[in-house]
Chain A
Amino acid sequence: MLIEAGHFAFGLALGLSLLQLVLPLWGSRTGDRVLMAIAAPVAIAVFGLIAFSFATLVAAHVTSDFSVENVFQNSHTAKPLIYKISGVWGNHEGSMLLWVAILALFSALVALNPRTVPFALRANALAVQAALTVAFQLFILFTSNPFRRLDPAPMQGRDLNPVLQDLGLAIHPPLLYLGYVGFSMTFAFAMAALIDGRVDAVWARAVRPWALLAWSLLTLGIAMGSYWAYYELGWGGFWFWDPVENASLMPWLVGTALIHSIVVMEKREALKIWTILLAILTFSLSLLGTFLVRSGILTSVHAFAVDPGRGVAILAILVVFIGGSLAIFAWRAPLLRQGGIFAPISREGALIVNNLLLASACATVFLGTLYPLALEAVTGEKISVGAPYYDLTFTPMALLLLVVVPFGQRLAWKRGDLLGAAQRLLAAGLVSIACMLGVVAFTTGGPILAPLAIGIGVFLILGSLTEIWVRAGAGRTPAIVLRRAIGLPRSTWGSVAAHAGLGITLIGLAAQAWSHETITAAKIGQTLTVGRYQAKLVDVRDRPGPNYQAKVALLEVSRGGTGLGVVECEKRSYPARETTTTEAGLLTDGTSQFYASFGEMYPDGTIGLRLYDKPLVLLIWLGSVVMAAGGALCLSDRRLRIGAPSRVRPRSGLVPAE
């Protein structure tokens, strides 16, 4: 009965979404503020209804109500509670419902924060957001209804794909969706600005928190997904340049460009049209990602049950929204007035370089991801574009960008002094070069790019910290520097943290050039060596799990004679789906890891093992967390909490000399 209530609430939400779409637009055309004011309460109601229908589906999964087809297909009574809950979005229908719920959540959040967003902008943005909500609600109701019943109800469910039964996978999709869908809000604001025909610093200030929020969550979501791939797939890899991964990387790259160009717009009223275009492109790439992942064009763990009808429907949504928004952009953008003149060597100029390189890097990923699909559609020839392509195209551009970043941070707005910036960065630069040479001197093997990347990573971290040092009054007594540093705006600390986090991630990535792999078969009692670690196979035993049977190999790990502990790696077999999964054994040693993965049992009693020495590998994800924390710090800045300044205030107050 509950699930019918959820179904009904979802239908009701569709009706309200239609109101949220039509009334505010009507109101803004006729100048009727009452109609425009309806948008906010309706948006909150829509979210409440969708959240309720989502909750009913969660309840059905938790209680293993197999009369609901979605539960039958993806759940099992023996499954642990946490995976019963995460199983709600571990399938196509449920994940689309989560997608819509997050769309509505962002609408509601905007509706609940009236102070930060101008009235007309909010009404129009909520209408655009409602258009998206309606499209995806129709998609769910007509092609992927999670509320469908089965009669008669089966006794037992088919269980969730075991690869997805993992804590990382319980968290990764909601985070990624919050990021992906979060950019719908900036998209909605961009469209509202085009409808309004006006975009200025107030717009930028209203939109920036949403872009930052979405960006931080997307950063965490991507990092989480990559860590999951690292420990769950048993290959020790964390990024495969798989189209599904690229689909999340592309909005991240353009979104990164967006959060930078919004700053230019907020401070200097320049790059207006470009920023609007970026906002449109970021969400378009999110939509494209959804299409690639959900349509079944690509084969992966993400492509649940494949149904061509759904692919066509998502493609139609894609065409309508991307095509429509670009058409409106082409029609309305020339009406926007440009402002803010600046010299090429200036903060604005540096941010243009940032945007250019990010957009180009995204373009190469786009090409590498879509070219094989296009080629197959046209000629039928099947190809794959892998890491070597991205090493040649994406990596050089990314490294070039990262070298430039600290210089950009040190340039003044409007007209900068490149020589002065270089002088202030001299210390950071020298230390980085010393690090680079040190790495070259003390390591053997590994590509030449790796020490270079480590040097750039160090430069990024130190260069960002230089910002704090200089602004806190370099050279004064430590007490003054400390007090001033604490007094700096949180957005300054946030941006320093985000850039330093990028440096940390880069060092972690580069250090993988010195990772070691040993693939071998071993008997109990045998000692194996991989990189810096020695591992002794102590025992192999059986262990029953709640809904699987596991073989566990115990390895005693030591480095240079000192014992580090015992690692367990497992091979699990799930009877419900007749599949096996590998649970890697990880031993953390500082920020490095010893990684062991269970291969197979051989008749003579030996077992196959895959062992890795992964130096500094945790820095990759640690850096991502620091980046996201930086975004959150910027978000908590007083300026953004207080919200958009009203138009009555003197203009001079708008452009603080930062």
Chain B
Amino acid sequence: MTRRSRRIAIIAVSGAVLALALGLALYGMRGTIVFFRTPTQVIQEPQVGQRIRLGGLVETGSIRRGPDQTVTFAVTDGASRVTVHYRGLLPDLFREGQGVVTEGAVEASGSFRAATVLARHDENYMPREVADALKAQGHWKDGKVPAAAAAGPADGR
């Protein structure tokens, strides 16, 4: 086998494998991406059944524990609130008035059924997505969580 034909063979095989990898990646992307939404976005355009990540602050005084490890709480970004149902153990840093990201889907009733509650956070207990969402609502100043945002929307549904 000459050097030239060998090189062509290698390039052809490489191209094929890379094309396969790219195809797999694009196919994988299509079905598996999860979008991040704020409570306001969920209220405005609820996509029932679509798997999303919902992030915001755990509204103060909203945590209700039910039987069999079920828990209900509200996630707020200061402008809107979404009720979240979850069954399971909450992460160590889950608490009222602090940031949370949950993954799950909106139900027909408008509430959110979470499959996981994420504990990912930095030292300020504020997921970056949540910080951005709060900034968008004008509730974020100087890296401090304002009490008003944690208390939820003014009408307090």
Query: Which residues on A are within 8 Å of B, measured CB to CB?
Result: 161, 233-234, 242, 296, 299-301, 303-306, 338, 341-344, 352-353, 356-357, 360-361, 363-364, 367-368, 371, 381-386, 388-390, 392-393, 396-397, 519-521, 571, 579-582, 597, 599-600, 602, 608, 610
Asked if B147 is an interface residue, CB under 8 A from chain A, the answer is no
Instruction: Tell me the complex Cα distance, A397–B17, Å.
Output: 10
Closest to B123 in A: A161
User: What are 14 residue pairs bridging A and B, where the CB atoms are less than 8 Å apart in the complex?
Assistant: A343-B1, A360-B17, A363-B18, A364-B24, A368-B25, A382-B36, A382-B53, A383-B36, A385-B34, A386-B32, A392-B24, A393-B25, A580-B92, A597-B89
Instruction: Tell me the complex Cα distance, A610–B68, Å.
Output: 13
Residues of chain A contacted by B68 (CB below 8 angstroms): 520-521
- Chain B nearest CB: distance from A91 CB in Å? 10
Residues of chain B contacted by A342 (CB below 8 angstroms): 6
Contact B13 A356 (CB under 8 A): yes
Instruction: Tell me the complex Cα distance, A498–B122, Å.
Output: 36
Q: Mark B115-157, 1 if CB is under 8 A from A, else 0.
A: 0000111110001110010000000000000000000000000
Residues of chain A contacted by B48 (CB below 8 angstroms): none
A383 with B35, Cβ < 8 A, contacts A341-B3, A356-B14, A608-B69 known: yes
Contact A299 B120 (CB under 8 A): yes
Residues of chain B contacted by A383 (CB below 8 angstroms): 33-36
Closest to A573 in B: B92
A519 with B31, Cβ < 8 A, contacts A299-B128, A382-B36 known: no
Asked if B29 is an interface residue, CB under 8 A from chain A, the answer is yes
Q: Lowest 4 A-B CB distances belong to which pairs?
A: A382-B36, A392-B28, A360-B21, A388-B32
Residues of chain A contacted by B87 (CB below 8 angstroms): 519
Residues of chain B contacted by A344 (CB below 8 angstroms): 1, 6, 9
Instruction: Tell me the complex Cα distance, A384–B21, Å.
Output: 20
Residues of chain A contacted by B93 (CB below 8 angstroms): 579-580
Contact A519 B36 (CB under 8 A): no
Instruction: Tell me the complex Cα distance, A382–B129, Å.
Output: 8
- Chain A nearest CB: distance from B120 CB in Å? 6
Closest to B129 in A: A382
A519 with B88, Cβ < 8 A, contacts A300-B120, A384-B33, A384-B34 known: yes
Task: Name the residue in A363, A393, A579 with the highest tally of chain B Cβ atoms < 10 Å from its Cβ.
Answer: A393
Residues of chain B contacted by A390 (CB below 8 angstroms): 28
- Chain A nearest CB: distance from B58 CB in Å? 15
Residues of chain B contacted by A304 (CB below 8 angstroms): 123
Contact A599 B122 (CB under 8 A): no
Residues of chain B contacted by A364 (CB below 8 angstroms): 21, 24-25, 28
Pick from A303, A371, A388: contact of B122, CB below 8 A: A303
Tell me which residues from 9 to 24 in chain B have a Cβ below 8 Å from any Cβ of chain A.
Answer: 9-10, 13-14, 17-18, 20-22, 24
Instruction: Tell me the complex Cα distance, A242–B32, Å.
Output: 15
Instruction: Tell me the complex Cα distance, A242–B14, Å.
Output: 28
Residues of chain A contacted by B89 (CB below 8 angstroms): 234, 519, 597, 599-600, 608, 610
Residues of chain B contacted by A579 (CB below 8 angstroms): 92-93
Instruction: Tell me the complex Cα distance, A303–B6, Å.
Output: 47
Contact B20 A360 (CB under 8 A): yes
Residues of chain A contacted by B21 (CB below 8 angstroms): 360-361, 363-364, 393, 397
Contact A521 B123 (CB under 8 A): no
A234 with B92, Cβ < 8 A, contacts A300-B120, A356-B17, A382-B35 known: yes
A299 with B32, Cβ < 8 A, contacts A341-B6, A344-B1, A610-B89 known: no
Query: Which residues on B are within 8 Å of A, measured CB to CB?
Result: 1, 3, 6, 9-10, 13-14, 17-18, 20-22, 24-25, 27-29, 31-36, 53, 65, 68-69, 87-90, 92-93, 119-123, 127-129, 132
Residues of chain A contacted by B88 (CB below 8 angstroms): 519, 610
Closest to A343 in B: B1
Contact A384 B53 (CB under 8 A): yes
Instruction: Tell me the complex Cα distance, A53–B123, Å.
Output: 27
Residues of chain B contacted by A363 (CB below 8 angstroms): 18, 21-22, 25
Instruction: Tell me the complex Cα distance, A599–B117, Å.
Output: 14
Contact A393 B1 (CB under 8 A): no
Instruction: Tell me the complex Cα distance, A300–B132, Å.
Output: 16
Instruction: Tell me the complex Cα distance, A301–B28, Å.
Output: 28
Pick from B1, B27, B35, B119: contact of A392, CB below 8 A: B27
A367 with B35, Cβ < 8 A, contacts A306-B122, A360-B18, A608-B69 known: no
Closest to B3 in A: A341
- Chain A nearest CB: distance from B126 CB in Å? 8
- Chain B nearest CB: distance from A403 CB in Å? 14
Instruction: Tell me the complex Cα distance, A58–B74, Å.
Output: 45
Residues of chain A contacted by B22 (CB below 8 angstroms): 363
Instruction: Tell me the complex Cα distance, A581–B92, Å.
Output: 6
- Chain B nearest CB: distance from A475 CB in Å? 34
Residues of chain A contacted by B127 (CB below 8 angstroms): 299
- Chain B nearest CB: distance from A161 CB in Å? 6
Contact B123 A385 (CB under 8 A): no
Pick from A300, A381, A521: contact of B35, CB below 8 A: A381
Residues of chain B contacted by A301 (CB below 8 angstroms): 122
Instruction: Tell me the complex Cα distance, A385–B32, Å.
Output: 7
Instruction: Tell me the complex Cα distance, A367–B27, Å.
Output: 12
A386 with B123, Cβ < 8 A, contacts A344-B6, A392-B28, A579-B92 known: no
Instruction: Tell me the complex Cα distance, A382–B68, Å.
Output: 33
A-B contact sample (8 more), CB < 8 A, given A300-B120, A363-B21, A582-B92: A234-B92, A344-B1, A361-B21, A364-B24, A371-B29, A382-B53, A393-B24, A520-B69
Instruction: Tell me the complex Cα distance, A602–B89, Å.
Output: 12
Instruction: Tell me the complex Cα distance, A638–B61, Å.
Output: 69
Residues of chain B contacted by A305 (CB below 8 angstroms): 123
Instruction: Tell me the complex Cα distance, A467–B22, Å.
Output: 34
Contact B24 A388 (CB under 8 A): no
Instruction: Tell me the complex Cα distance, A364–B17, Å.
Output: 12
Instruction: Tell me the complex Cα distance, A579–B129, Å.
Output: 22
Closest to B94 in A: A600
A388 with B20, Cβ < 8 A, contacts A344-B1, A382-B35, A521-B69 known: no
Contact B36 A389 (CB under 8 A): no
- Chain B nearest CB: distance from A620 CB in Å? 22
Residues of chain A contacted by B122 (CB below 8 angstroms): 296, 299-301, 303, 306
Instruction: Tell me the complex Cα distance, A589–B90, Å.
Output: 28
Instruction: Tell me the complex Cα distance, A392–B128, Å.
Output: 28
